[in-house]
Amino acid sequence: MPMVKYWKHKDKCSAKITTAEDGSIIMKMEGEDYPFPTFPRGHLLFGYLSKLKHEIKNQIFNNAWGLLEKGISETTIINKIKHKLFNEIVDIAEPLKYDALPPEKMTPSVREIYRAWTKVSPRTKAIRDYLCFILQEDDAYRFRVQWMVEYFGLMPRRDPVEALNKALISMEHAEVIGDMKERIRLLRRILMLILKDKSVKDQYIILFKEIDWKKVKLSEGDKYHFRGKYFKVDFNLFEY
């Protein structure tokens, strides 16, 4: 399968930051068949964004898992998660708003999620902003979200919650590194817990139905670059 190739022969290659026809920022890499969607900004990836992802993982996912193992009631844990999502995490993400790209400069996949979220749940725009910021700046997260879309379409009857659950199960098998498999198991367990809350579930279903998933799924160019990472991008096509 076609994939990014500069790393096979050298540690780096020349690249030019420019704008695609749709207005999004892309990076044209010397000798590659497809441009890379957006431009990874290292000072953000290893700075504020790294701290934000760390806090989300610890304060929401790790803590919630620990409370579940201790036998704390699901209702109590869900309320703690909602408090952190709408308060503590929002405060941590606040400084990042000055570095966020405007929607018209985002990659098509993130732009569509941003559009749909803005339409169906403007009151949760703070969460929209920091989650879209993560997807825009960190291709490891963005490509995985895009990858799941294929599994949404494979379901004969797309119940949004079950679609997400099955896609995450498949993703665990598609991960190559053991540590990443564990992270996906953690992610799936806590997301399925959060979606037991009626208000969260209702909002998620509305958002799921509003998003045009054809605009989110991996393009051929996305797959080209994603295949250079430790992930079985073509898991649904081949036996590994």
Give 87-99 as a DSSP string: IIHHHHHGGGGGT
Name residues whose C-beta falls within 8 Å of residue 92's C-beta, 6 or more positions apart in sequence: 51, 52, 55
Give domain status of residue 16, yes or no. Answer: no
Mean pLDDT of the region 6-17: 88
pLDDT for the residue numbered 9: 83
Residue 74 maps to a domain: yes
**Structural domain includes residue 47:** yes
Q: Length of the chain in residues, anyone? A: 240
If phi > 0 it is left, if psi is from -120 to 50 it is alpha, else beta; for residue 31 that is left
Domain assignment of residue 88, yes or no: yes
pLDDT surpassing 80 at residue 119: yes
Alpha-carbon span 110 to 112, nearest angstrom = 5
Which whole-number Å values give the CA distances from 42 to 48, 69, 127, 129, 196, in the listed order? 10, 36, 23, 19, 37
pLDDT exceeds 70 at position 157:
no
| Residue 47 predicted with pLDDT over 70 | yes
Lowest mean pLDDT among 72-76, 77-81, 87-91: 87-91
pLDDT tens sequence across 172-222: 999 999 999 999 999 999 999 999 999 999 999 999 999 999 999 999 999
Distance CA 76, CA 73 (A): 5
pLDDT tier at 156, thresholds 50, 70, 90: low
Domain range enclosing 52: 40-226
Q: Is residue 26 part of a domain?
A: no
Q: Are strands 36-37 and 15-19 parallel, antiparallel or unpaired?
A: unpaired
Question: Is 3 within the bounds of a domain?
Answer: no
Over residues 73-102, mean pLDDT = 91
Q: How far apart are CA 145 and CA 163, in angstroms?
A: 13
Domain count, the chain: 1
Is 61 within a domain?
yes
Q: What are phi and psi of 19, to 5 degrees?
A: -120, 135
Residue 135 within any structural domain of the chain: yes
